[in-house]
Amino acid sequence: MKSRSYISIYFDDEVPLLEAVRILRDKKETIADVLSPFPVHGLDEALSIKRSRIPVGGFIFGALGAILAFGFQAWVFTVSYPLIIGGKPFFSVPTFIPITFEVTVLFAGLSMVAAFLIRSKLKPDIRFEPFDESVTDDRFVILVDASDEGNTLERVKSILSGINTLEIRK
Amino acid sequence: MDEQFDFKKKYRNILMMLMTGGILVSIAVILISKPGAARIWANVLLNNQYFLGLSLGAAFFLAVHRVSQSGWHTLLQRLPDSMTTYLPVAFVLMLLIYFGIHNIYGWTNNNPTDKVIEGKRAWLNIPFFFIRLVIYFAGWIVLTRMMRKNSLSLMTSADLKYHNRKILFAGLFLVFYGITVSASSWDWIMSLDAHWYSTLFGWYVLIGMFVTSLAFITLLIWFLKRLGYLKYIRPDHVHDMAILIFAFSIFWTYQWFAQYELIWYGHLPEETSYYITRLHHFKVIFYINLGVNFLVPFFGLITFNSKRHIGWVAIIAAIVLIGHWIDYWLLIMPAAAGDNAGIGLLEISMTLIYGCLFVYIVLRSLSIGPLVVKNDPYILESMNYES
């Protein structure tokens, strides 16, 4: 199996980074990854990354939580253990609302965290070796896939000649 | 950047015609079906309160964003700014209540056997009622005029002192408004049921006001964009308006439920009387109110894409505007007009009169200057805003 090799392009600001991402994609270079110390506005659009589907999961689990909480209370207070509280009927919807609301929020919140962790393959014993420690501080890096034929390094250098890069290396 | 809204004669004529039509229909209904003085005055109060809420909510919108120094609303700040110019008119219209005060406010009629109201006499008496009314309006009008004049100065001068003053005025307005909006809602709405009280009432009315004015600002954006103005208002700005409508509709429901739940649970006769009047006689409207003001904005604006299309958000905003009119109707009518209350031609025509007057004043104030305060320091931030 051929080992994968990358060209890394260093920046010290996000503005030239965004510009470089757009130009590279225009020239049909394959961008493997972009590393940045903080979320860059507009980077998702520039890389054509689809919007996260986590809110959908949040909605589904929230609805599930609402149904479960309401159903459980309805069952407990009418079938399993009916109690007269304050002279109210056994099935009194207003008393169920606060708990239904809380469980909805809990389910939606926890399910979104869980979905994020699973999709990002994050787990407690994860080993993470940073590509370059400076990207956790003040450097921005674009990784271009260089495993295809031809001299990618020269090509990338010529494409990005007009942009303020710090360093381009294999 | 210097585009200016042209309040064409065509629009003025349409508004004038609708208003005249509203007046004629109202007079005809009053003469033919004789709805009774209480219902007519309750209608005046309802519309006073509703359109006053629109313009106060707009001032609140501006003040909150200015105090928090937010940038995104800078491009559309002239819209709520114009809505506040209705306040002097609202003042005059509210003074009209003087002529009908005995018809709708039960506490104005002396009844020494009524111990509860006699105990509240220190607050609920006619002279003090009007003194308070003048104080509220004086504060609101003076502060919003100062806010407006200041932001109009920013259109011609780039002096940073106007920007700093903007924040100061907004802070002053918020403090005054926070106190007076509660007190005014006790005076004008809660005292209709003079025996009843709810400590949450001021908040509930405040949030209702804020939601209506958010919806109205959204409709204004939609209207101006349809005419080809406000090209620079992008889906990101619409998104934020929609988020605010969504969030504050939920918050309104929260307030509604908090008030209902406690009264339902406590089951004290002096508290439940309020809901019994409304639930026994106006059950359908009672549940429509909750459905329209909660379920429609909640499911209508829940997804990402639905918040970014001005056409769709405007539809939801229009429904919310009608929904909150129904909410005010439920607050005022059952107490003021009693069994006589209903939603009929009289309500629609009188709301039409007020609505046309309000829109006329807002559009006229909007047309006196460019649609953008171009010397505002946050203008670039608002231009490049991404939600």
DSSP annotation string for B152-206: HHHHH---HHHHHHHHHHHHHHHHHHHHHHHHHHHHHTGGGGTT---TTHHHHHH
Query: Would A114 be classed as within a structural domain?
Result: yes
Inform me whether the C-beta atom of residue A30 falls under 8 Å from chain B C-beta atoms. no
Query: Would A110 be classed as within a structural domain?
Result: yes
Q: Give me the domain span that covers residue A158.
A: 6-37+138-169
Encoded amino acid at A101, one letter: F
Cβ-count burial B218-227 (b if 16+ within 10 Å, e if not): bbbbbbbbee
The number of folded domains in chain B is: 1
Q: Which residues contact A87 (CB under 8 A, 6 or more apart)?
A: B267
Query: Would B230 be classed as within a structural domain?
Result: yes
Q: Do A97 and B260 touch (CB under 8 A)?
A: no
Of B261, B265, B386, the CB nearest to A86: B265
Query: Would B25 be classed as within a structural domain?
Result: yes
Residue numbers in A near B386 (CB within 8 A):
41-42
Q: Both A94 and A147 in a single domain?
A: no
**pLDDT exceeds 60 at position B226:** yes
Query: Would B2 be classed as within a structural domain?
Result: no
Torsion of CA A15, A16, A20, A26, to 10 degrees: 60
Q: Is residue B356 very low, low, confident or very high in pLDDT (cuts 50, 70, 90)? A: very high
Work out whether strand A140-145 and strand A6-11 pair parallel, antiparallel, or are unpaired: antiparallel
Of B257, B303, B304, the CB nearest to A97: B257
How many CB pairs below 8 A link A and B? Answer: 19
Q: Both A115 and A61 in a single domain?
A: yes
The number of folded domains in chain A is: 2
Encoded amino acid at B27, one letter: I
Q: Is residue A75 very low, low, confident or very high in pLDDT (cuts 50, 70, 90)? A: very high
Q: Do B267 and A94 touch (CB under 8 A)?
A: no
Q: Is residue A5 very low, low, confident or very high in pLDDT (cuts 50, 70, 90)? A: confident
**pLDDT exceeds 80 at position A128:** no
Inform me whether the C-beta atom of residue A95 falls under 8 Å from chain B C-beta atoms. yes
Query: Would A129 be classed as within a structural domain?
Result: no
Distance (Å) of CA A14 to CA A37, A74, A163, B362: 10, 54, 12, 43
Q: Are B385 and B238 in contact (CB under 8 A)?
A: no
Residue in chain B nearest A86 by alpha carbon: B265
Of A42, A51, A94, the CB nearest to B264: A94
Query: How high is the pLDDT of residue A31?
Result: 85
* Mutation to test the A interface, candidates B304, B381, B387, most A Cβ within 10 Å: B304
Query: How high is the pLDDT of residue A3?
Result: 61
Inform me whether the C-beta atom of residue A98 falls under 8 Å from chain B C-beta atoms. yes
C-alpha to C-alpha distance for A16 and A166, rounded to whole angstroms: 10
Query: How high is the pLDDT of residue B94?
Result: 95
Indicate the pTM of the whole model: 0.90
Distance (Å) of CA B180 to CA A117, B273, B329, B330, B374: 48, 26, 21, 22, 33
Inform me whether the C-beta atom of residue A89 falls under 8 Å from chain B C-beta atoms. no
Query: Would B51 be classed as within a structural domain?
Result: yes
pLDDT in tens, B108-143: 988 888 888 888 999 999 999 999 999 999 999 999
pLDDT in tens, B45-56: 999 999 999 999
Inform me whether the C-beta atom of residue B10 falls under 8 Å from chain A C-beta atoms. no
Q: Both A109 and A143 in a single domain?
A: no
CATH of the domain at A164: 3.30.70.260
C-alpha to C-alpha distance for B95 and B191, rounded to whole angstroms: 17
Query: How high is the pLDDT of residue A143?
Result: 86
Query: Would A81 be classed as within a structural domain?
Result: yes
Inform me whether the C-beta atom of residue B260 falls under 8 Å from chain A C-beta atoms. yes
Query: Would B4 be classed as within a structural domain?
Result: no
Smallest CA–CA distance, residue A65 to chain B, in Å, is 17
Taking residues B18-44, report their average pLDDT. Answer: 93
Q: Do A42 and B386 touch (CB under 8 A)?
A: yes
Inform me whether the C-beta atom of residue B299 falls under 8 Å from chain A C-beta atoms. no
Inform me whether the C-beta atom of residue A87 falls under 8 Å from chain B C-beta atoms. yes
Query: Would B1 be classed as within a structural domain?
Result: no
Query: How high is the pLDDT of residue A52?
Result: 86
Q: Do B260 and A94 touch (CB under 8 A)?
A: yes
Taking residues B136-154, report their average pLDDT. Answer: 93
C-alpha to C-alpha distance for B193 and B333, rounded to whole angstroms: 11
Residue B385 or B26, more confident: B26
Residue numbers in B near A95 (CB within 8 A):
265
Q: Give me the domain span that covers residue B55.
A: 9-110+118-383
Q: Give the B window 137-166 contacts with A, CB below 8 Å.
A: none
Q: Are B15 and B359 in contact (CB under 8 A)?
A: yes
**pLDDT exceeds 60 at position A1:** no
Percent of chain B with pLDDT over 90: 75
Q: Is residue B283 very low, low, confident or very high in pLDDT (cuts 50, 70, 90)? A: very high
Residue in chain B nearest A96 by alpha carbon: B261
Residue numbers in A near B302 (CB within 8 A):
59
**pLDDT exceeds 60 at position B280:** yes
Query: Would A42 be classed as within a structural domain?
Result: no
Residue B3 or B12, more confident: B12
Query: How high is the pLDDT of residue A158?
Result: 83
Inform me whether the C-beta atom of residue B267 falls under 8 Å from chain A C-beta atoms. yes
Taking residues A74-81, report their average pLDDT. Answer: 94
DSSP tag of B35: -
Q: Both A26 and A61 in a single domain?
A: no
Taking residues B254-272, report their average pLDDT. Answer: 92
pLDDT in tens, B186-216: 999 999 998 999 999 999 999 999 999 999 9
Cβ-count burial A100-136 (b if 16+ within 10 Å, e if not): beebbeebbeebbeebeeeeeeeeeeeeeeeeeebbe
Taking residues B274-296, report their average pLDDT. Answer: 92
Residue A86 or B353, more confident: B353
**pLDDT exceeds 60 at position B221:** yes
- For A36-105, give the DSSP string: -SSPPTTHHHHTTPPPPSHHHHHHHHHHHHHHHHHHHHHHIIIII-----TT--SS-HHHHHHHHHHHHH
Query: Would B182 be classed as within a structural domain?
Result: yes
Q: Are B20 and B358 in contact (CB under 8 A)?
A: no
Query: How high is the pLDDT of residue B1?
Result: 66
Query: How high is the pLDDT of residue B189?
Result: 94
Spatial CA neighbour of B331 closest among B267, B252, B248: B252
Spatial CA neighbour of B359 closest among B82, B59, B3, B6: B82
Query: How high is the pLDDT of residue B67?
Result: 94
Q: Both A60 and A18 in a single domain?
A: no
